[in-house]
Amino acid sequence: MRRSIVAANWKLNGNLEMAKSLVTVIDAHSNGLEGVDTVICPPFPYLSYVGGLMSASNVHLGAQSIAEYESGAYTGEVSAEMVAEVGCRYAIVGHSERREYYGETDAIVAAKFSRIQAAGLIPILCVGESLDQREQGVMQDTIVRQVNAVAAEANISNMQNAVLAYEPIWAIGTGETASPEQAQEVHEIIRSEIAKQSTDIAEGLRILYGGSVKANNAVELFSQPDIDGGLIGGASLDAEQFNAIVAAGSL
């Protein structure tokens, strides 16, 4: 049985005071919960501080992004090795905001995925379609292309040490949420695509849903057969909301 993951993506939010109050409550709540891992991904300046607040064995630190380079003259970039050194276990890659606002192509995402794994971290690979792509009937083609771009670069065997996250772009920060049936449909597509190359890896692959998960819809979403938790944005900034979502992942 796949172990659930609920990951908090703080994006460009927070300060030291918020981090202390939020992480302390989340860590205490997550401690001892069976069957679920909690991942907290704060902005880069707070990684060490947040990591120092964690004590529960099932609460882990994650980075929101990393560079596709190990080192070099890349002003403003942060390497996977750097975030690993300050305690990260996970790193998000391919988030729709990185693809849209910072021009991250499938090739860049694949390169970052490999860098994350080379540093001994677990990538949380995001894939997803826009509203236009869904309405034009190319949702499946888009998802499959994004998954296979990474599988081809990194080798399918490396998918067994990764997490995927489906984030319908049209449901991020909009208050819209894919129905459990819509989300399950895409998660099944992703698992089936991986299964074409390895049924064992596909069966063990944890796939998160990342489209406006809230406390009031988490249980229904996470009860779907191919949904193994969530990548949480706005709701991760509210301890009560986020803890309710983590609790749903433990059911």
Distance, in Å, from the CA atom of 36 to the CA atom of 21, rounded to the nearest integer, reads 22
Distance of CA 41 to the CA centre of its chain: 9
Catalytic residue among 68, 97, 104, 167: 167
* Interatomic CA distance for residues 150 and 194, integer angstroms: 11
- 153 labelled catalytic: no
Distances 154 to 123, 159, 200 between C-alpha atoms, Å: 12, 8, 17
Active-site position among 68, 95, 97, 104: 95
Residue type, 16: L
Whether 129 is catalytic is: no
Dihedral sign for Cα atoms in the order 108, 112, 118, 123: negative
Strand partners, 218: none
- Which of 234, 227, 228 is closest to 213 using CA atoms? 234
Cα–Cα distances in Å, from 3 out to 37, 162, 176? Answer: 7, 13, 27
Active site residues: 95, 167
